[in-house]
Amino acid sequence: MQIVIVDDNRVNVALLKVLARQLTDQPAMEFTDAVAALAWCESHPFDLLLLDYMMPGLDGLSFLAQLRARPDKASVPVLMVTASHETEVRYEALRRGANDFLTKPIDRIEFLARSRNMLALRQSQQALADRAAWLAAEVDKATRVIVEREYDTILRLSRAAEYRDPETGMHLARMARYAQLIGRNLGMDAEQQQTLLRAAPMHDIGKVGIPDAILLKPGKLDAAEWATMREHSAIGYQILRDSPSPLLQMAAVIAHSHHEKFDGSGYPLGLAGTAIPLVGRIVAVADVLDALTSRRPYKEAWTFEAALALLREQSGTQFDPACVEAVVESWPEVLAIHAEFRDEAGGPHADLV
Comparing every residue's Cβ against Fe ion, the nearest one is: 204
Expressed in angstroms, the distance from the first to the final Cα of the chain is 51
CA distance 114 to 72: 23
Strands 29-31 and 78-83: unpaired
Residue 251 Cβ, how far from Fe ion at the closest point, in Å?
13
Q: Select 90 or 203, whichever has its Cβ closest to Fe ion.
A: 203
Q: Select 96 or 171, whichever has its Cβ closest to Fe ion.
A: 171
* 8 A C-beta contact, residue 99 and residue 79: yes
Residue 150 Cβ, how far from Fe ion at the closest point, in Å?
23
Q: Select 204 or 320, whichever has its Cβ closest to Fe ion.
A: 204
Question: What residue type is 304 in one-letter code?
Answer: F
What string of H, E and C letters represents the secondary structure of the chain? CCEEEECCCHHHHHHHHHHHCCCCCCCCEEECCHHHHHHHHHHCCCCEEEEECCCCCCCHHHHHHHHHCCHHHCCCCEEEEEECCCHHHHHHHHHCCCCEEEEECCCHHHHHHHHHHHHHHHHHHHHHHHHHHHHHHHHHHHHHHHHHHHHHHHHHHHHHHHCCCCCCHHHHHHHHHHHHHHHHHCCCCHHHHHHHHHHHHHCCHHHHHCCHHHHCCCCCCCHHHHHHHHHHHHHHHHHHCCCCCHHHHHHHHHHHHCCCCCCCCCCCCCCCHHHCCHHHHHHHHHHHHHHHCCCECCECCCCHHHHHHHHHHCECCCECHHHHHHHHCCHHHHHHHHHHCCHHHCCCCCCCC
Residue 203 Cβ, how far from Fe ion at the closest point, in Å?
6
Q: Select 47 or 290, whichever has its Cβ closest to Fe ion.
A: 290
Q: Select 4 or 199, whichever has its Cβ closest to Fe ion.
A: 199
Residue 238 Cβ, how far from Fe ion at the closest point, in Å?
14
Q: Select 78 or 289, whichever has its Cβ closest to Fe ion.
A: 289
Q: Select 8 or 204, whichever has its Cβ closest to Fe ion.
A: 204
Residue 199 Cβ, how far from Fe ion at the closest point, in Å?
14
Residue 130 Cβ, how far from Fe ion at the closest point, in Å?
52
Q: Select 50 or 288, whichever has its Cβ closest to Fe ion.
A: 288
Q: Select 52 or 167, whichever has its Cβ closest to Fe ion.
A: 167
* 8 A C-beta contact, residue 348 and residue 159: yes
Q: Would you tell me which residues interact with Fe ion (CB under 5 A)?
A: 204
Residue 230 Cβ, how far from Fe ion at the closest point, in Å?
9
Residue 232 Cβ, how far from Fe ion at the closest point, in Å?
6
Residue 239 Cβ, how far from Fe ion at the closest point, in Å?
13
